[in-house]
Amino acid sequence: MTDKAHERDFHGEIDDAIDTLFAPHAGAVRNKPAAATAPVAPERPTPAAPQEKAAALPVSLLSADGADAFSPFEEALLSLDWEISASNIETARRALQEIQGNFEVDKAVALTEVFSLMDRLLAAMAIAPQSVSTSAPKTLQEGLQTLRAAAGAEDLSLIEKTLLDPTLSELRSAIPNIPKDYSKLGQAAQPEKQDFSAGEQKTAAAAQTPAAQTSRTAASTRVPPDEDILPELPVAPVGKAAAVLIEAVNAHLAVLGKCIAKRIIPVENLFAKTPGYEKLHAIHTELRERLERQKQNLIKALGVNYQADAPVPVEPPVGQSTKQAEPAAVCPWQTVALATWGGKTVGFLPEQIVYQGKPSPKVRKCGPFLPLKMLKRGFFGKIGFVMQGELSFQDEAVLKTLTIPVAKSSGAEAPQNDSPLLVLCRENSGMAFWLDEPTEQLDVPPGCRWEPETDPGTLVAGNLTIKGKTIPVITMRSM
């Protein structure tokens, strides 16, 4: 093959790999696509589409959206490859335990040692990262490939020699010798588990009556406890203790559900409608989703013993815990300034209004941008004197340099001679509006409907519905 052909072939493979990775997410390509005439690559790139990868897997290892149970562990390994941190290790361990919990019984038993060694390697990375080889994430990746192959294999003996044995050997050699004293250090070093790990799931599942115990649980409890560095697995409770534990887990689920509904969701909604809190909102959403996942895991582990209507245990009153939950969406402001703009009634936030009034006629000809210096009165007047809010504290020299865009309304054209001008400002952003009429203060009545705007690119923070009339509330928010 000539150099040119070789290069073209190689570039074709690159394009193919990138198209495969990004094509499911991309919309129509507006620009001229890159050279599509490259020859088809003989070797497909590794990250195949999830459905393709999942095709050979049993149903228990597939989620509703077609992704397989291995994906979270793969993601965690990629993160570990970048940074070995306690949180990344914890995520990986949880994902591994999740995979183990979803395996078929007989396979889970046969693969116990693989799971155990992988978990020990992760534990070693948490306890004594300096003694673990830098290739540990890669070894774990190979372990994952073996588990994936085992999940899809009809008979494990077929892959025993080719995959299982080499993987076990590599995992064993990757685990360093860590003295027993490290176990205490490890427990201290591990972040506090706020949610149920698979170990706890095993406890819950093992608490079921013998008849109700799923075979999956039986398999998972056969994992031999690690004597040196891993925390001991809980001993399966029997008889009365099991019933007590089931009751406790059911009560915990009831409390968890209540907390999510009454505590987390209202705060999440509050963040959703508060400008500038988008990231906190995302963090809170992730927290809720994680708790909901843990709740589902516990329900799954409880199986037939799950009681959806379990009584919520009486808790000592903490703060507002006994109060009734707030409505899902409450207007975040108590007062808005109502005005007519472009023929529509809109609301502004009084605290963001830095100027309102009828300026001199020459200001009306300012066009799409309004230099604030045009608002000063008289030759010796100061801009700061006509400003209110945060701009009233600003230096005159700074105010002289500020120019603010004028919002275009859909209805109006040029401002009328008596049109009042309103200027909003928040942090470094501002916008001017030529109103039809001056503003009026409105105290937002409790219980009125508030729908936050989901598109952060608009100036409308949300819509307020009062007595059947919907009023968009315009704010300067982060864009």
In the complex, the smallest distance separating the C-beta of residue 136 from another protein, rounded to whole angstroms, is 13
Taking the C-alpha atoms of residue 353 and residue 339, their distance in angstroms, rounded to an integer, is: 12
Strand partners, 405: 369
Q: Is 50 in the site for another protein (CB under 8 A)?
A: yes
Instruction: Indicate the residue type of 216.
Output: R
CB of 201 to another protein, least distance (A): 21
By CB under 8 A, is residue 436 in contact with another protein? no
Residue 68 near residue 57 (C-beta atoms within 8 A) = yes
Residue partners of 21: CB distance under 8 A and separation at least 6: 45, 47
Query: 138 or 262: whose CB is closer to another protein?
Result: 138
Q: Taking CB under 8 A as the rule, does residue 461 contact another protein? A: no
Nearer to another protein, 107 or 138 (CB): 138
Q: Are strands 344-348 and 469-474 parallel, antiparallel or unpaired?
A: parallel
Name which of 135 and 209 has its Cβ closer to another protein: 135
Considering beta carbons, is residue 428 or 441 the nearer one to another protein?
428
Distance, first Cα to last Cα, the chain = 53
Q: How far is the CB of 155 from another protein (least distance, A)?
A: 26
Choosing from 210, 317, 447, 457, the residue that interacts with another protein (CB under 8 A) is: 457
Q: Figure out which of the listed residues 424, 459, 471, 476 binds another protein, where binding follows CB under 8 A.
A: 459
CB of 174 to another protein, least distance (A): 15
Residue 327 interacts with another protein (CB under 8 A): yes or no? no
User: Distance between CA atoms of 371 and 224, rounded to whole angstroms?
Assistant: 75
**Inter-axis angle of helices 71-82 and 136-152, nearest 10:** 170
| DSSP class per residue in 224-258 | PPPSSSSPPPPPPP-HHHHHHHHHHHHHHHHHHHH
For another protein, which is the closer residue by CB, 13 or 119? 13
- Is residue 3 near another protein by the rule CB under 8 A? yes
Question: Residue 92 Cβ, how far from another protein at the closest point, in Å?
Answer: 11
The yes or no reply on residue 161 touching another protein (CB under 8 A) is: no
472 strand-pairing partners = 463
Q: Which of 113, 278, 326, 351 binds another protein (CB under 8 A)?
A: 278
The two three-digit tokens of residue 81, written as one number: 């490859």
Closer residue to another protein in complex, CB, 80/249: 80
Q: Which of 39, 166, 179, 276 binds another protein (CB under 8 A)?
A: 276
Q: Residue with structure tokens 């115990």? A: 213
> How many angstroms separate the CA atoms of 276 and 66, rounded?
35
Do the bridges between strand 421-426 and strand 353-357 make them parallel or antiparallel, or are there none, so unpaired? antiparallel
Rounded least distance, CB 423 to another protein, Å:
14
Tell me the closest approach of the beta carbon of residue 130 to another protein, in angstroms. 20
Which one-letter DSSP state was computed for residue 33?
A: P
479 binds another protein (CB under 8 A): yes
Q: Between residue 63 and residue 102, which ones bind another protein under the rule CB under 8 A?
A: 67, 70-72, 74-75, 78-79, 81-83, 88, 91
Tell me which of 25, 161, 240, 469 binds another protein, using CB under 8 A: 25
Contact call for residue 7 and another protein (CB under 8 A): yes
Does 414 contact another protein by CB under 8 A?
A: no
Report d(CA 59, CA 102) in Å as an integer: 9
From residue 207, alpha-carbon distances to 112, 300, 329 in Å are 21, 13, 41
Stretch that binds another protein, among 98-106, 156-164, 274-282, 374-382 (CB under 8 A): 274-282
Based on the shown chain and the rule CB under 8 A, indicate whether residue 39 belongs to the binding site for another protein: no
CA distances from 341 to 284, 351, 357, 407 (A): 36, 19, 14, 10
The reply on whether position 244 binds another protein by CB under 8 A is no
281 contributes a contact to another protein by CB under 8 A: no
Closer by beta carbon to another protein, 82 or else 385: 82
Q: Tokens 């025993």: give the residue.
A: 160
Give the separation between CA 399 and CA 425, rounded to whole angstroms: 12
How buried is residue 328: exposed, middle or buried, by Cβ count under 10 Å (0-12/13-18/19+)?
exposed
- Positive or negative, the CA dihedral 372, 378, 380, 384 is negative
Question: Which pairing describes strands 429-434 and 353-357: parallel, antiparallel, or unpaired?
Answer: unpaired
Is 285 a binding residue for another protein by CB under 8 A? The answer is no
Q: Is residue 13 a contact point for another protein (CB under 8 A)? A: yes
User: Does residue 369 interact with another protein by CB under 8 A?
Assistant: yes
Q: Segment near another protein (CB under 8 A), from 113-121, 232-240, 315-323, 453-461? A: 453-461
Q: Of 358, 357, 355, which is closest to residue 430 (Cα–Cα)?
A: 355
Interacting residues with another protein (CB under 8 A): 3, 6-7, 10-11, 13-15, 17-23, 25-27, 29-32, 34, 41, 43, 45-47, 50, 53, 67, 70-72, 74-75, 78-79, 81-83, 88, 91, 135, 138, 276, 278-279, 282, 368-369, 403, 405-410, 431, 455-459, 478-479
